[in-house]
Chains A and B, each alone.
Chain A
Amino acid sequence: MAMAALRREGRRFAPMISPRPITALRSSPLAPSLEDECPIGVRYISTQVVRNRMKSVKNIQKITKAMKMVAASKLRAIQTKAENSRGLWQPFTALLGDLPSANVKKNVVVTISSDKGLCGGINSTSVKISKGFHKLNSGPEKETKYVILGEKAKAQLVRDSKKDIELIITELQKNPLNYTQVSVLADEILKNVEYDALRIVFNKFHSVVSFVPTVSTVLSPEIVEREAESGGKLGDLDSYEVEGGETKGEILQNLAEFQFSCVMFNAVLENACSEQGARMSAMDSSSRNAGDMLDRLTLTYNRTRQASITTELIEIISGASALEG
């Protein structure tokens, strides 16, 4: 009769007595810590581990959401500036055209990148393109030098191209970007670096999710003269009368310097916008990931909790039935 009673009770509680839930826990990612504490069947399961994990993931999610909001507000502020500065380089391209394929001896690649990280892949793209230019312009008598703006490009380029780096400029965005600062920078670069062609590599801001790597070419006055004489794109530059100054060369020199500072200004602003946009999308995807992880951990937590309750009940019931029986 006792056996019958047990069998009846056994059948009712059979699903709970089955060892499967406990082995399922064993195979969960938290298994190692649980195994340390307990063999099968003993009341051991601590939800503390899962709870700690959930707390840290939730904090990370809060932080990344906050970073996304900050990036969004910074983007709003700088986007108007960048769009207003877009008219600045157009007259120069209308006058002098754009000759990225000009064959020159001394190339200088100005790579614009960000100082802070967590902004997706834009800095790596800029560095890859700069290295691409280095490769493109390799040949006898040709050399390529780097001028680096920003910590992230510095970290990547210093590793393998240390001897080719001329200037490194960091902490560009400590004060809000303005034309005076950029023109002083341009002046420094022009003073210290000999160049035939300057190629400015940056990420142009199209929209919050799209950043296009772009290169703007500024040619030195001698190369401009050479290209104008050989005809082609700049052929009708000679038809322009040059007013003022003693020589045409002087005006063209001023023109090249002014062009460089204007193009730099626009490039720096566009890159800053792209940085904030990339950071927004990176932080958005990471908070979404954190949310997914939190959901999975909640399920595990509930399973763990329910398993421990089940174990307790099993113990109680089997204890009680043992006493009765």
Chain B
Amino acid sequence: MLRRASMLLACRPILAARARPFSTDLPAAPSADATFTEAWTKVIPNMDPPKTPLSFMQPRPPTPSSIPSKLTVNFVLPYASELATKEVDMVIVPATTGQMGVLPGHVATIAELKPGVLSVHEGSEMTKYFVSSGFVFIHANSFADIIAVEAVPLDRLDVNLVQKGLAEFTSKLSSATTDLEKAEAQIGIDVHSALNSALTG
């Protein structure tokens, strides 16, 4: 009886793995697009419906049953895609709750980033970037999307300018009158102190 139970337990993940490809072979995308195209053609029969972003995107692989060995990272900025589907071992992201390490098999998470250092670990090499802010999405299939507004490698930062900026914003905060000015000065201080600690720490 116990053997039967253990056999069943062994079978179920396999079934799940087989079942998942079927359910994700037809990505849900066409159904949403299909309702849209139907509604469109009913109301405006003369024009082709406009395309939607889903038709331009590669579908993501489904959640595998076992934890993959590598994390696939997409690190995008408005001006460039720094890393596009790069397989790495680990990334450490500066989330608002502190430095968060992301390994393959991390639970699905949405986190907002604060100014800080992002490090990408691949084998023995580590690349560090200073990130201004953004979001990170970690999906259940060990895909991590990091979207940042600005990111620079640490060697492009100038220590003196950072110190000057910090002093400037501290003085601005003390002389600020309205809430808006105070908030702006506070943001400046946050960013510069993060820069400072990135360069020194």
Chain A residues engaging chain B, CB cutoff 8 angstroms: 81, 84-95, 97-101, 128-129, 132, 135-136, 179, 183, 201, 204, 212-217, 232-233, 236, 239-245, 251, 254-255, 258, 262, 265
Contact = CB atoms under 8 A, between A and B. Distances in A.
A179 B44 contact: no
Given A100-B52, A132-B47, A215-B52, A258 B134 contact: yes
Nearest to B134: A258
A156 to B, nearest CB: 15
Given A101-B32, A132-B43, A258-B135, A93 B54 contact: yes
- For the complex of A and B, list the 6 residue pairs with the smallest distance between their C-beta atoms, beginning with the closest: A91-B145, A244-B96, A87-B81, A243-B111, A179-B78, A87-B76
11 contacts: A85-B78, A85-B79, A132-B44, A179-B78, A214-B52, A215-B51, A215-B52, A233-B32, A240-B108, A242-B110, A265-B78
B54 A129 contact: no
Contact of A90 (B32, B74, B96, B100): B74
Nearest to A130: B50
Kindly name the residue among B39, B50, B53, B56 whose own CB sees the greatest number of chain A CB atoms within 10 A. B50
A136 to B, nearest CB: 5
A93 B57 contact: yes
Given A89-B53, A214-B53, A101 B39 contact: yes
B145 A99 contact: no
Given A90-B53, A241-B110, 16 more contacts: A84-B79, A90-B74, A95-B145, A98-B29, A132-B43, A132-B44, A136-B39, A214-B50, A215-B51, A215-B52, A243-B96, A243-B109, A243-B111, A244-B96, A254-B112, A255-B112
A308 B109 CA distance: 87
Contacts of B109: 240-243
B32 A97 contact: yes
A98 B52 contact: yes
Contacts of A101: 32, 35-36, 39
Given A94-B145, A242-B109, A87 B28 contact: no
Interface in B141-165: 143, 145, 147, 149
Interface of B, secondary structure class, is: mixed
Contacts of A262: 78, 147
Contacts of B60: 94
Contacts, number: 141
Nearest to A214: B51
A296 B149 CA distance: 57
A217 B49 CA distance: 14
B137 to A, nearest CB: 5
Contacts of B51: 204, 212-215
Contact of B110 (A87, A97, A136, A240): A240
Contacts of B96: 243-245
Interface string B76-99: 111111001000000000011100
Nearest to A263: B53
A125 to B, nearest CB: 9
Interface of B: 28-29, 32-33, 35-36, 39-40, 43-44, 47, 50-54, 56-57, 60, 74, 76-81, 84, 95-97, 100, 107-112, 134-135, 137, 139-140, 143, 145, 147, 149
A189 to B, nearest CB: 18
A1 to B, nearest CB: 80
A216 B80 CA distance: 20
B14 to A, nearest CB: 22
A229 B143 CA distance: 24
Contacts of B134: 258
B44 A135 contact: yes
A97 B139 CA distance: 13
Contacts of B97: 243-244
Contacts of B100: 243
Nearest to A255: B135
A298 to B, nearest CB: 42
Nearest to B38: A101
A258 B74 CA distance: 17
B52 A97 contact: no
B53 A84 contact: no
A153 to B, nearest CB: 15
Nearest to B113: A244
Nearest to A248: B110
Contacts of B143: 94
Contacts of B139: 94-95
Contact of B53 (A93, A129, A201): A93
Nearest to B74: A91
Contacts of B137: 91, 94-95, 240
B100 to A, nearest CB: 7
Contact of B79 (A179, A215, A240): A179
